[in-house]
Every structure is written in structure tokens, then in C-alpha cells.
Homo-oligomer: A and B are copies of this chain.
Amino acid sequence: MTVKVGLLGLGTVGTGTAKILLDPAGRHPLVKAVEIYRVGVRSLDKPRNIDIPPDRLTTDLEAIATDPDVDVVVELIGGLEPARSLILKAIHHGKHVVTANKAVIARYGDEIFDAANEAGVYVLLEAAVGGGIPVIQPLKQALGVNRITAVTGIVNGTTNYILTRMQAEGGDFEPILKDAQRLGYAEADPTADVDGLDAADKIAILASLAFGGRIKLSDVFCEGIRHVSASDIAYAERLGFVIKLLAIARRETCPVSNEALEELQLRVHPTLVPKQHPLASINDVYNAILVEGDPIGQVMFFGPGAGEGPTASAVASDILNIAATLQSQSVAAKAEPQNPLLACTHQHYCQVSPMADIVSRFYVRLVAKDQAGVIGRVGTCFGNHDVSIESVVQIDAHGDIAEVVVVTHEVKEQNFQMALADLQDSVDIQSVPSVLRVL
């Protein structure tokens, strides 16, 4: 039995996917059973470095989504529309869907999975998070028997590249962003990456899988890396940390009993990561996702977070997964119940804690007057709001001005923000150039 694939989009990832499917030698034998039946492109005349018979190409993407002979529609055009409409159309026509589109899934996942469940088809999205790293499939299958307590990821390659270079070179954000754009590691409009929006899409998807509930994207707290300075990276280094943009989904625990609560923390922000932490050594464009659960403890998945080959590997593996399911059914697909480890059936929304209630450690860099008693008064100001301090270090003094770096113990965000407001009003403090969270 041949499984017929309709590819929507023949850009980088589409081309990579087609290369895998057209050249099955040395891969899983099932690749041979997958046929690229139709390919939707923007222009028929564009020269391409892949050999697809011209009669399979069409500019009519909707015709592929509704073609009765197509078994699996692979959406690789990106963006919100027409991607969303084409995915829904394909589902309504009884096709399984594979997509790499994190933006569509993070925003319209509810609508898409409701439609898929009603139609009895699968929507697979391994390529949407972590490029080629298998993380969606393990979360759905190998790790599903665990009670997941946290998913913490470096899921955006562009920001990790920028932060790694800032660390290595002691450089500031803007010039390194410019260089990254020149080298093709950052886009001309870098907003989605550097402001953390891409990471927010991805952690929403991972949290939904890890915690078995739907996520409203607007519930994800999101802070980018534009304000991270070379000084903060250098000071963090002296304190034993590196700065990474982390995407965090964590089940809250009761501060008294330590039992897991219903609420989740969902946040993306630059974070001081202790150097001995497994995520601290993930550099350049690499991604890594650390999953914690009971009884497994910690597992981490590491690899290239983007690029033609890795992303195509993830897309092709989803296609193969559907092909395997279709081949193992003796009767027509729609007469069979769905495989509960491939389908996505949760209906409720996860409860998400407001940031004010979240407990974490903080790093604060203050510019203070270099005079006796300042550090004491800073300590008192934090103490007044029940913010307990782990370390205070005077890093640098010039003239009558000193830079002071404070790292707090775990503290409720709300208390910390009140202490910070008091500090900013204090006559001792000239400015507070940076506030970062600490893992």
C-alpha cells in the first residue's frame, strides 16, 4: 500500500522533506511506501534543486487539500493564513496532516485538534518544536506514563546564537544581532525571535503535550533578550551563571506540602542558569529540552533546532508514523479507532498562575552611591518585603558611583517587585539597569 502525500510548500523544509522521500536507500524501508503525489508551490517556473515531475506541481494549494487521492497533507508554507484554512480543509476532507507550523498550532490548536478528532485523522507536528530533535513524539509516547513536573527548553536557535556570541566575545546585543542577520542566523525582522514570541509558541505546544491540557498563548509570560547587556553576562559569569533564553512550563507545587497543584507556570525570559546545569552548555544555534517527571527524573533532548535537514527529518518522521499506522490497519482508516498516543484528545484548558504569584530567584544590577551603609540599606529594603538575599557583590566602583549585583533567594514575584519599586525610590540608588530571573 502506497501512502500519497500532498506537500504544501517547496521552500527549504519542503525541499528537504522531498529529498528524503525521493531517496529512500539506507533509510527505514517504509520510506519507499510514501509517494510525493502532489506539490503546491507559489510559482511553477522557479528553478529548484530537486527533481519533481512538473505535472505533480500546482499553484492550487486548495486542490491538494481536497484531493480525494491524497492521504496526508504536509503543510510547510508557514504563517497563519492560508496555512490554518488549508489545514482545516484537509482535515474536513479526511486527510491526516503533518505541519511544522508552530505559530498556527499555538494559536489555532483547539480548532484544529477538535476538527481532527471529529474527522478521525491525526495532526502531527514534530517539526514545530526543536527542529530535528525528537521531543513531541517522546512527550506523547515514551514519557506519557510520567507525571511531568517541568519542561524547560532552549527552543530558539537565533537567541541562543546571539547570547552565546555575547558570552564568548563580551559583545553587546545590537552589533551581534546585526552580524547574525548578515550571516543569516537572524531574520531581517528579528522580533519573533529576540522578543521571545517564537519560544512562547513552542512552550505553549510543549506544555499542552506535557500537561495534557490546552494552553491559551496569551497566558505565556514573555520577555525577550534585547535588554541583556554584555555587563550582565560578565557579572553572571563571575557569579557562576550563564544567561540563556529559557522557555519554562512547570507545575506549581504547594509551598507547604510540596504536592503538585493544578496551576502551571508558563514563561519565557532570559535566565541566569548555573554553569553546572545541563542547559548551561547548550550553545550556538543548538536547542535542548529538559523534561522532569515522576518517576523518570530528568531527561534532556539536544540537537539542531532549525535548518533544512533537521526540520525535514522531523517532518518525514511524522509522515512515516502516519504511514505505519495506515499500513497496520486492515480496514479503511476511518473505521478504526484512533491510536490514543498519536491523537490529541484533551479538551480542558490548563490553569496558569499569574506572574505575581510565581516564586523564583532574581538577579538585580544596581547603580548606587558609593558610600558607607548603602549595601546595608539595600538589604533592609529587600528585607522589608520578605525578600531574602543570597549574595550582594559590589562589582565596580568609579568616582562616587558603585555597581552592585544582588542575587535573591526564592521569592514571590509580587514581593520582589514591591521591594524593587522601593529601591528605585531610594536616594541611595541612581538606577537599576537590569533585573533578570535566576533558575
In the complex, whether A294 has a CB less than 8 A from a CB of chain B is yes
Given A30-B340, A309-B296, A339-B324, A134:B143 Cβ within 8 A:
yes
CB pair A320 B137 closer than 8 Å: no
What residues of B have a CB within 8 angstroms of the CB of A31 in the complex? 145
What residues of B have a CB within 8 angstroms of the CB of A316 in the complex? 145
In the complex, whether A335 has a CB less than 8 A from a CB of chain B is yes
In the complex, whether A300 has a CB less than 8 A from a CB of chain B is yes
In the complex, whether A312 has a CB less than 8 A from a CB of chain B is yes
In the complex, whether A141 has a CB less than 8 A from a CB of chain B is yes
CB pair A341 B296 closer than 8 Å: no
Within 8 A of B (CB), among A17-51: 19-20, 26-31
Residues 118-155 of chain A, each 1 if its beta carbon lies under 8 Å from chain B, else 0: 00000000100000111001100111111100000000
CB pair B338 A310 closer than 8 Å: no
In the complex, whether A433 has a CB less than 8 A from a CB of chain B is no
In the complex, whether A68 has a CB less than 8 A from a CB of chain B is no
Given A27-B144, A143-B317, A330-B337, A297:B325 Cβ within 8 A:
no
Choose one: B133, B143, B212, B324; the contact of A341 (CB below 8 Å): B324
Query: Chain A's interface: helix, strand, loop or mixed, by majority?
Result: mixed
In the complex, whether A321 has a CB less than 8 A from a CB of chain B is yes
CB pair A331 B330 closer than 8 Å: yes
Nearest B residue to A211 via CB reads B26
What residues of B have a CB within 8 angstroms of the CB of A300 in the complex? 300-303
* Distance in angstroms between the alpha carbons of A321 and B132 in the assembled complex: 22
Residues 332-374 of chain A, each 1 if its beta carbon lies under 8 Å from chain B, else 0: 0001111111100100000000000000000000000000000
Given A30-B341, A142-B126, A295:B281 Cβ within 8 A:
no
What residues of B have a CB within 8 angstroms of the CB of A260 in the complex? 26
Choose one: B299, B302, B309, B337; the contact of A294 (CB below 8 Å): B309
In the complex, whether A16 has a CB less than 8 A from a CB of chain B is yes
Residues 303-330 of chain A, each 1 if its beta carbon lies under 8 Å from chain B, else 0: 1100111101110110011001101111
Residues 202-236 of chain A, each 1 if its beta carbon lies under 8 Å from chain B, else 0: 00000000001000000000000000000000000
Residues 240-284 of chain A, each 1 if its beta carbon lies under 8 Å from chain B, else 0: 000000000000000000001000000000000000001001000
Nearest B residue to A16 via CB reads B295
Choose one: B141, B278, B309; the contact of A297 (CB below 8 Å): B309
Given A299-B303, A310-B295, A29:B340 Cβ within 8 A:
yes
CB pair B320 A341 closer than 8 Å: yes
In whole Å, how far is A144's beta carbon from the nearest beta carbon of chain B? 4
CB pair B296 A299 closer than 8 Å: no
What residues of B have a CB within 8 angstroms of the CB of A134 in the complex? 134, 138, 141-143, 299
Choose one: B212, B303, B340, B345; the contact of A296 (CB below 8 Å): B303
Excluding A299-B304, A327-B337, A331-B331, 16 further A-B contacts by CB distance (< 8 Å) are: A28-B144, A134-B138, A134-B143, A141-B317, A145-B317, A297-B309, A297-B310, A298-B303, A298-B304, A299-B303, A300-B302, A324-B341, A328-B340, A329-B329, A330-B336, A330-B337
Q: Which residues of A contact B (CB under 8 A)?
A: 16, 19-20, 26-31, 126, 132-134, 137-138, 141-147, 212, 260, 278, 281, 293-304, 307-310, 312-314, 316-317, 320-321, 324-325, 327-331, 335-342, 345
A-B contact pairs, 9 of them (CB 8 A): A19-B295, A27-B147, A28-B340, A132-B299, A134-B134, A296-B313, A300-B300, A327-B340, A330-B336
